[in-house]
Amino acid sequence: MIGRLQGTVLHKQAPDLLLDVQGVGYEVLVSLSTFFAVPAVGESVVLHTHFVVREDAQLLFGFSELAERALFRHLIKVNGVGPKMALAILSGMSASEFAQSVLNNDVATLVKLPGVGKKTAERLVIEMRDRVGDIDATNATGGAVSAKPPGIAEEAESALIALGYKPQDATKMVSRAISDDISSPEQLIRAALKSMVSK
């Protein structure tokens, strides 16, 4: 099992990373919180990983923090929650926000996450209540409506769609979150997800 990778970032496009580890390129799927923590292309990074083998694919998921990987592993044990949905949950809210939602029985907030219906949200609250006690993560920031170069908005929308949001929802989230303070797709994605969770 691959539990840790240290290498050079070759390519970044949320939620995918390509890492060069001693000449071998590893494709890694990451949450947006990890994506924001990963340095620029050409720089070195260490990721804690979880390897998933299926009949039709072998997938490697990466995390900048051990706590995030631990939460991911708890999530995929919940009935009806696969690795892709777990990654979307970790991308849609910080680990601490997820913990608060679970501890407060806040099904309404969890339902806003892509792919999470009411039954799944209720199951998450019940099954994760005893597992979220020691979760800690940084929160994201948001912004107000403004105009930005289309490239930033398009990249942000593509990343949100890749995480499971419907195209029309991704467009609305981006248009609500965009502001003069935002200068990169990463900032815009973070703001869009924050506005969705706190809405």
Dihedral angle of Cα 64, 16, 77, 194, to the nearest 10 degrees:
70
Contact residues for 76 (Cβ-Cβ < 8 A; gap 6+) = 82, 83, 86
Q: Check: CB of residue 90 under 8 Å from CB of residue 116.
A: no
pLDDT of 180 higher than 80? no
Where exactly are the structural domains of the chain? 4-63, 67-128, 150-198
67-128, superfamily in CATH?
Answer: 5' to 3' exonuclease, C-terminal subdomain (1.10.150.20)
pLDDT of residue 56: 87
Tokens 């601490």 sit on residue = 96
What CATH fold (topology level) applies to the domain 150-198?
A: Helicase, Ruva Protein; domain 3 (1.10.8)
**129-163 tens-digit pLDDT:** 877 765 543 333 332 223 334 467 777 777 877 77
Contact residues for 106 (Cβ-Cβ < 8 A; gap 6+) = 100, 125
pTM, two decimal places: 0.67
Give the integer Cα–Cα distance in Å for 191 and 72: 22
Q: Check: CB of residue 48 under 8 Å from CB of residue 62.
A: yes
Q: Check: CB of residue 14 under 8 Å from CB of residue 35.
A: yes
**23-34 tens-digit pLDDT:** 999 999 998 889
4-63, superfamily in CATH?
Answer: Nucleic acid-binding proteins (2.40.50.140)
